Amino acid sequence: MTGTQLRSVVALLRMSPLDIGGDVGKMRDVFEELLGAIPLPEDVRTDAVDLGGVRTLKVTAGPDHGAGAVLFLHGGAYAFGSAATSANLAADVARRSGTTAYTVDYRLAPEHPFPAAVDDAVAAYRGLLDSGVPADRIALCGESSGGGLAVALLVALRDAGLPLPTSAAVLSPWTDLTQSGRSLRTKAAVDPTLTPEALAVRSRDYLAGADPRSPLASPLFADLRGLPPLLVQAGTHEILLDDALRLAAEAADADVAVTLQTFPNAPHVFQSFAAVLSPAATALDAVAAFLRTHLDQAAG
């Protein structure tokens, strides 16, 4: 059954009109149309809120959502996506973990290049603290570029001397904008979503001449010491597999508690298909258990 599910999802992705490296205006519309066409479940409520001057969507799902907050950072190669397009995945995380999710509408490139996304993520986190949610009731979650942004946010918070959240779960994170990962070559034939050429376009737009090895742009090259526990998930059929593997290795080398989970034959951010793909549901259950464990430990 799982093999059939995966084949169906991969076929759907290969037929998608979305071209990550295409015209940014047109592809934003495609991205919004594709994800906006998926209705939110009946138990999901969304409310627009302001966190530190950054537009954010507060997402609750199910009856239990008072046991902590998850600051959620969406994907889209720093050029596409929004709080609204990530609401389904954020709601799934919130429902499973019994938390309230806050998904951040950070500014996008090329209009707002690096470090705008990092600045917005820091401002939203500060805003969550200022709203009365203490750091020991906050966890982070991010997918794709949002996964890399979540790690960059942790580094920025640590360097600013701010209290750190309890943990972070990153799904198929894009952590290396130098494009040096081996899997960009070895997994290109099996990745139905991303290409090295497309990521190179979006990397140039985001960096706008900045050093691709900048720790807040490519957190793979950051000093990760002192960060809270990380959960890193990736599918083995994605060109960003090495970004996840190397991030976990660097975190472990920096004495960060890190859990790495890989899922055979799964594509980029396969967790989005939890409603129809059993490995995706399993992965999100693991995300929820990880976040819940560290939130509960911090609460004492």
Taking only the tens place, the pLDDT of each residue in 236-245 is 999 999 999 9
CA 212 vs. chain centroid, Å, equals 19
Write the CA distances from 179 to 109, 114, 197, 265, integer angstroms: 18, 17, 10, 22
Catalytic residue among 65, 268, 272, 294: 268
* Catalytic residue list contains 238: yes
* Catalytic residue list contains 33: no
Stretch 163-176: mean pLDDT, rounded? 98
CATH of the domain at 198: 3.40.50.1820
At residue 251's C-alpha, the angle toward residues 162 and 92, to 5°, is: 75
Cβ atoms of residues 274 and 41 within 8 Å: no
Q: What does the pLDDT look like over 124-149, one tens digit per residue?
A: 999 999 999 999 999 999 999 999 99
Global confidence as pTM? 0.97
Residue 2 pLDDT greater than 80, yes or no: no
* Catalytic residue list contains 42: no
Catalytic residue among 86, 144, 167, 172: 144
Bond preceding residue 115 cis, omega within 30 of 0 = yes
Q: What is the pLDDT of residue 42?
A: 92
Mean residue pLDDT of the chain comes to 96
Catalytic residue among 238, 250, 272, 294: 238
State how many domains the chain has. 1
CA pair distance 300, 292, nearest whole angstrom: 12
Q: What is the pLDDT of residue 63?
A: 82
Instruction: Tell me the β-bridge partners of 169.
Output: 141, 231
Cβ atoms of residues 128 and 71 within 8 Å: yes
Domain of 103?
2-299
Residue 1 pLDDT greater than 60, yes or no: no
